[in-house]
Amino acid sequence: MDLRGSMIRIARMTRLLLVLAAVTLVLLPGAASAAVCSPLNCAASQFTVGNGALIAYRHSALGPVSVTSLRTGKVLHRVPGGFSGGTLLVHQQAGTSLRWFDLRSGAARGSLTLPWKIRLAGVSQDGTRAVGFRLVPDGKTTLVVASRSVVRTVVLPGRQWDFDALLGDNLFLVRYLPGGGYQVRFLDLRSGRLAPNPLKDPHESGTIWGTPFSRLASRDGTVLFTLYVASNGAAMVHQLDLVHAKARCIDLPGTGNFLSASTWAMALSRSGRTLWAISPGYGRVVSLDVSTRRVRSAFRFALPYWNQATGTRLALRGDGNELGVANGEEVARIALTERKVLERSHAASTAIGWSPTGRLVVLR
């Protein structure tokens, strides 16, 4: 989990550069101390809904979410900003009120008023439960897990906790370390017991360094992929199996240029068996086998003078044969079988996606 020795802690100036470099695909931490990759601070600003028929996008971590049909290209509805999981989004008001919205229809699906304020930190993989924190006396923290009808609390030792993921009774937390870095910790929500040791790759340290840059979940929500970027331009994918509570780290090619590393983006095949990672900055495409956690294929491509300072929007065509990539001012199509750039054009874009008929849709 330490990028095999290449990931180092990001300095303050590098964190500032990170915020300036990535704007639309990645929603970055609002504070320099927020190193953990929670859904709020590094989730993709565009994601598909309804088996890929709809695309949802937002301009900021706390901004409203627009949902557009990939068949017609028309905006169908907008919902308030919040945390999304599955087809649901949870919006918080005044610290105590939680509201659930259906991203497919835009309709409200229920609400809950808590007896105290919480810091909403994320939602379960299906979006039915909200997860937040309360600071309590004696230097402890109360974890709050709330559905529209049931509220569960667990007291955690210390203050340095954040949320990572929740699937069933498998809850994954982040614990910040006094000397820097952080650990992923597993909690069995059924018993309320916190595992004594951090979750880790068998071949890596239990302490994670570096900066989380983007996050992607499998369609069934059972696997979570987090892209980490280091100040020296190295990058890796952290694959977290939420069912069996296992973590693995997969290094990506390229080093030496932070801006190039900041153009990495991820897309998952329809079957969920292949994870594609692309970096226009490094000119690299890599496919990863999800089951074996190994690099399946890799090739180089060239997009000279590509703007590396505006983040990367990425979409994989339904048949898995082509990638659409955009930086806000240009759009390119890359054939995965022929391993080459098919087309490049100037086009302003907020989000991109593929229609059911295989047409690249550019939303402006």
Residue 216: which of 103, 125, 122, 319 has the closest Cα?
A: 125
Percent of the chain with pLDDT over 70: 86
Residue 17 has pLDDT above 60, yes or no: no
> Could you read off the pLDDT of 121-139 as tens digits, one per residue?
999 999 999 999 998 888 8
pLDDT value at position 38? 39
Q: What are residue 260's phi and psi, to 5 degrees?
A: -65, -40
Residue 40 has pLDDT above 60, yes or no: no
Global pTM value: 0.84
- Residue ranges of domains in the chain: 3-363
Q: Kindly list the distances between the CA atom of residue 248 and the CA atoms of 20, 30, 197, 206, in Å, as whole numbers in the listed order.
A: 29, 27, 16, 11
Residue 16 has pLDDT above 80, yes or no: no
Secondary structure letter of residue 5 according to DSSP:
G
pLDDT value at position 10? 32
Secondary structure letter of residue 60 according to DSSP:
S
Mean pLDDT of 28-53: 52
User: Per-residue DSSP letters for 298-350?
Assistant: EEE---TT---SS--EEEE-TTSSEEEEE-SSEEEEEETTTTEEEEEEE---S
Cβ-based neighbours of 345, under 8 Å, separated by 6 or more? 330, 331, 332
Q: 3-class SS at 296?
A: strand
Tell the residue number behind the tokens 């379960």, with chain if given. Answer: 124
Q: Kindly list the distances between the CA atom of residue 346 and the CA atoms of 179, 280, 325, 349, in Å, as whole numbers in the listed order.
A: 46, 15, 12, 10
How far is Cα 287 from Cα 275, in angstroms, rounded to an integer? 6
* Mean pLDDT for all residues in the chain: 84
How far is Cα 42 from Cα 25, in angstroms, rounded to an integer? 9
pLDDT value at position 30? 25
Residue 251 has pLDDT above 80, yes or no: yes
Residue 286: which of 270, 275, 302 has the closest Cα?
A: 275
How far is Cα 346 from Cα 349, in angstroms, rounded to an integer? 10
Residue 27 has pLDDT above 60, yes or no: no
> Could you read off the pLDDT of 105-126 as tens digits, one per residue?
999 999 999 999 999 999 999 9
pLDDT value at position 42? 53
Residue pair 136/153 in contact (Cβ under 8 Å)? The answer is no
Mean pLDDT of 57-77: 88
Residue 25 has pLDDT above 90, yes or no: no
Q: What are residue 307's phi and psi, to 5 degrees?
A: -70, 115
> Could you read off the pLDDT of 185-208 as tens digits, one per residue?
999 999 999 999 998 877 777 777
Q: 3-class SS at 39?
A: helix
Second CATH level (architecture) for the domain 3-363? 7 Propeller (2.130)
